[in-house]
Structure 1
Amino acid sequence: MSSVTALSTAPVERRERALAALAEKPDGVVEAIAAKAEVTPAEVLAILPKGAATTADVSEFEAIWTEMSGWGEILFIVHTDDIVLEATGSLPAGSEGHGWFNIHGDSPIGGHIRKDNCAGITFVDRAFHGRRSCSVWFMNAKGSAMFKVFVKRDEARELVAEQLVKFEALRDRYAGA
């Protein structure tokens, strides 16, 4: 096989591996599915069933962040190969300065985000270990999540209804885009 043929079939093979890994564990951790298939998490999100992943352009970063800052207490996750860091709190308002999107406020969630590294935003609504899970993924150009914002669960492990309504309304703004 020539190198040109190998290059042209590589995306198909990647997609097939991703589909097989997803079929094996459709409600599993996206990063684990991606690792098993040797693809990126973005490639897994792209093959989720219709309606499970809705994308928004990166130009909507601040508008989406601002909207989510009114959701109340959320679950903020940073997932790398080395750690899955979970923080619960409200999203503080953010502002740009010195090349960063800076977040500070009365919340355990704070710091500085390299907003220019964000290549896209994906609203994810899918089963996770048998339960509905709703989150907003801020994706980098490498195909991984910079961070994720999840609709919080209540004491009964159900999605907080008020937040779920806000998530669905925000996602639906971008569903036809």
Structure 2
Amino acid sequence: MSSPVLASTNTNDDRRQRALAALAEKPDGVVEAIASKADVTPSEILAILPEGAALTVDAAAFNDIWTELGNWGEVLLIVHTEDIVLEVTGSLPAGSEGHGWFNIHGDSPIGGHIRKENCAGITFVDRAFHGRRSCSIWFMNAAGFAMFKVFVRRNEARELIGEQLALFESLKARYQR
């Protein structure tokens, strides 16, 4: 009979192997779909991306990153659950804390309330998506799923908007060790 520690390690190894196999099958696919296929979380897929493709920083950076994103102009905000992939383009309004929520309201189609204390980490993602470079910032919960993601937008030619890409790279560089 194996010890609980050994069993736990084997389970983690199995999860990692499933994740690696699913990622190898579709390396530029939708992270949530890859995770679902491997029966792991999106954070487990982000953790095994090639070096430099994902940088996770502490959730304590939430306010600073949110404030910086508010200076990017119109971004693409995505909320991806099992039931919906909601995509909204707009600027990120300044937020304020109250009644247990991070409240965002302003002159933008993006508004509402975020349970900020559920943010366990923030991941900068720079990877190929369906053959094209994609850059985004994922606000992750403790269960390993994205609460929401903010993407560098594309222009009419489907290329990343250069000014936003430079802002993404600069912000990411501030958090690299």
Q: Same fold (TM over 0.5)?
A: yes
Superposed displacement of residue 3, structure 1: 5.9
Aligned-residue sequence identity (percent) comes to: 75
With structure 2 as the length reference, what TM-score do the two structures score? 0.98
**2:134 corresponds to which residue?**
133
CA RMSD of aligned residues (A): 0.8
TM-score (norm 1): 0.98
Contact 1:55 1:175 in 2 (8 A): no
Offset at residue 56 of structure 1 (A): 1.2
Equivalent residue for 1:6?
A: 7
Give unmatched runs, 5+ long, in structure 2: none
Provide the C-alpha distance between the structure 2 equivalents of 1:8 and 1:59, rounded to a whole number of angstroms: 30
Aligned length: 176
Runs of 4+ in 1 over 3 A off after TM superposition: none
> Which blocks of at least 5 consecutive residues in structure 1 are unaligned?
none
State the distance in 2 between where 1:69 and 1:93 align. Answer: 7
* Cα deviation digits, residues 59-109 of structure 1 (max 9, x gap): 000000000000000000000000000000000001111110000000000
CA distance in 2, matches of 1:98, 1:170: 29
Deviation, 1:2, is 3.0
Determine the structure 1 residue equivalent to 2:110: 109
Q: Is the contact made by 1:103 and 1:111 (CA closer than 8 Å) also made in structure 2?
A: yes
1:68 — aligned with what? 69
Measure the CA separation in 2 of the matches of 1:34 and 1:6: 22
Instruction: Map residues 1-177 of structure 1 onto 2, 5 A cutoff.
Output: 1-2=1-2, 4=4, 5-176=6-177
Q: What SS is found at the alignment partner of 1:12?
A: helix
More deviation, 80-89/1-10: 1-10
